[in-house]
């Protein structure tokens, strides 16, 4: 059986690797050229896009920002999972906000603007500390701006004035003083059965995920159930099939949704070593109509993104419980080159292993590593 993935990057690659033991073959579509490729070797297939769509038992995506005409062509096959509505909600912050508001799911107070002069009213309503986000094509800190004081407003307006805000509106969010960022990765099959991984705690650097720790420490049953309830509302409304990630801000005992990702997610990479069945295999199982795998945690795990560098020693693999996943890409700033999963028997043990890794990972590329190691030792 063949699975087709729209997008041919590292997430398609990891889904392909998880599919082979199940007897499934994954092909990917380069969304820029529309060529069908092997997601591991990148060798271009002789298959046309139409042939690949026809031969696939299921079609999915590795990211939300799929060209509209391609998404509609694939959707017409009736094989797209998750649904086109779910993918479009993840790709467009305006649609996402309306989805959350319609389901009465708490999220950051916001305004949508289509002209820079509307920023003044947004400041009046939300305050002078704001996060400004492009409604489409923004990720990993791209397409985002900050306002810290009203005095910065003229310069910000000048910066945004060249953008076509009618075509791509801005979502203006109130800057909140949250305690931490968490995410829930879950999976739902075609019959509505759901399995959840535990909440992960995520640390960001310059708008990009740097470290995830799972299960997140200091999560009680009430907080975990709150996250699952929100996941269920979204999954049921979207008739969702596959892995869905929901990112949260924690303010006291309340979770506010930051954004949703209708796909396998960076904050779920820890599951490759830290859970009985990883997110990639469970996504394939769900869309292919196979029984879901257990999401039971096998050990506390930290995931470290390797961003914009390859100048580290592979002697880090001498630290017990360390697993390297390299994406085989050309180095450039802010590009995710790979990730590390580190497993231990306790949070303190995890912290000690992260501390050991600082000898092999240059601090300029891994700025949160030592601080997180010290924090986990004290959990």
pLDDT for res 287: 98
- pLDDT single digits (tens) 160-183: 999 999 999 999 999 999 999 999
CA distance 224 to 297: 15
pLDDT for res 256: 98
- pLDDT single digits (tens) 25-76: 999 999 999 999 999 999 999 999 999 999 999 999 999 999 999 999 999 9
The mean per-residue pLDDT over the stretch 195-201 comes to 98
pLDDT for res 314: 95
Flag whether pLDDT at 134 surpasses 80.
yes
CA distance 248 to 100: 12
The mean per-residue pLDDT over the stretch 95-122 comes to 96
Q: Which residues of 343-377 are buried (b: 16+ CB within 10 A; e: fewer)?
A: bbeebebbbebbbbbeebbeeebbebbeebbebbb
The mean per-residue pLDDT over the stretch 187-198 comes to 98
pLDDT for res 140: 60
Q: Which percentage of the chain shows pLDDT scores above 90?
A: 96
pLDDT for res 143: 84
Q: For 234-268, what is the HEC assignment?
A: HHHHCCCCEEEEEEEEEECCEEEEEEEECCCCHHH
What's the pLDDT band for 207 if we cut at 50, 70, 90? confident
Flag whether pLDDT at 142 surpasses 80.
no
Helix, strand, or coil here: 365?
A: coil
Flag whether pLDDT at 141 surpasses 80.
no
CA distance 143 to 169: 11
- pLDDT single digits (tens) 225-283: 999 999 999 999 999 999 999 999 999 999 999 999 999 999 999 999 999 999 999 99
Name the superfamily (CATH) of residues 109-174: ATP-grasp fold, A domain (3.30.1490.20)
- pLDDT single digits (tens) 337-360: 999 999 999 999 999 999 999 999
The top-level CATH class assigned to 2-80 is alpha beta
CATH of 180-377, one of 3.30.470.20, 3.90.1150.10, 3.20.20.70, 3.40.50.300: 3.30.470.20
Is residue 186 within 8 Å of 231, Cβ to Cβ? yes
The mean per-residue pLDDT over the stretch 195-223 comes to 97
The mean per-residue pLDDT over the stretch 206-217 comes to 96
Flag whether pLDDT at 5 surpasses 90.
yes
Question: How high is the mean pLDDT of the chain?
Answer: 96
CA distance 136 to 170: 9
CA distance 95 to 101: 10
What's the pLDDT band for 1 if we cut at 50, 70, 90? confident
pTM value is 0.95
Any idea where the domains of the chain sit in the sequence? 2-80, 109-174, 180-377
The mean per-residue pLDDT over the stretch 122-149 comes to 87
* 225: enclosing H helix or E strand: helix 221-237
């Amino acid at each position: 059986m063949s699975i087709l993935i729209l997008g041919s990057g590292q997430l398609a690659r990891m889904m392909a690797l998880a599919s082979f033991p199940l007897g499934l073959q994954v092909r990917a579509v380069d969304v820029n050229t529309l060529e069908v490729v092997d997601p591991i070797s990148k060798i271009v297939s002789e298959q046309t896009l139409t042939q690949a769509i026809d031969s696939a038992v299921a079609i999915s995506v590795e990211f939300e920002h799929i060209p509209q005409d391609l998404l509609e062509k694939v959707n017409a096959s009736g094989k797209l999972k998750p649904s086109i509505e779910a993918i479009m909600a993840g790709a467009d912050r305006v649609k996402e906000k309306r989805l959350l508001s319609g389901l009465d799911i708490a999220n950051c107070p916001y305004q949508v603007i289509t002209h820079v002069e509307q920023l003044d009213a947004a400041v009046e309503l939300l305050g002078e500390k704001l996060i400004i986000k492009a409604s489409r094509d923004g990720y990993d800190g791209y397409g985002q701006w900050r306002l810290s004081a009203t005095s910065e407003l003229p310069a910000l307006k000048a910066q945004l004035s060249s953008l076509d805000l009618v075509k791509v509106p801005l979502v203006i969010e109130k800057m909140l003083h949250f305690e931490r960022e968490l995410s829930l990765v879950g999976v739902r099959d075609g019959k509505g059965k759901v399995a959840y991984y535990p909440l992960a705690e995520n640390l960001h650097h310059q708008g990009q995920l740097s470290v995830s720790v799972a299960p997140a420490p200091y999560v009680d049953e009430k907080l975990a159930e709150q996250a699952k309830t929100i996941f269920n509302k979204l999954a049921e409304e979207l008739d969702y099939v596959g892995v869905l990630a929901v990112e949260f801000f924690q303010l006291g005992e309340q979770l506010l949704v930051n954004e949703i990702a209708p796909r396998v997610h960076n904050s779920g990479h820890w599951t490759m070593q830290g859970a009985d069945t990883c997110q990639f295999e469970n996504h394939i199982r769900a869309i292919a109509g196979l029984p879901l795998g257990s999401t039971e945690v096998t050990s506390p795990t930290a995931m470290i993104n390797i961003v914009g560098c390859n100048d580290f020693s592979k002697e880090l693999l001498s630290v017990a419980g360390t697993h390297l996943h390299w994406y085989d890409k050309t180095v450039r700033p802010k590009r995710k080159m790979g990730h590390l999963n580190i497993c231990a028997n306790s949070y303190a043990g995890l912290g000690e292993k992260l501390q050991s890794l600082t000898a092999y990972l240059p601090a300029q590329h891994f700025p949160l590593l030592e601080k997180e190691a010290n924090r986990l030792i004290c959990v």
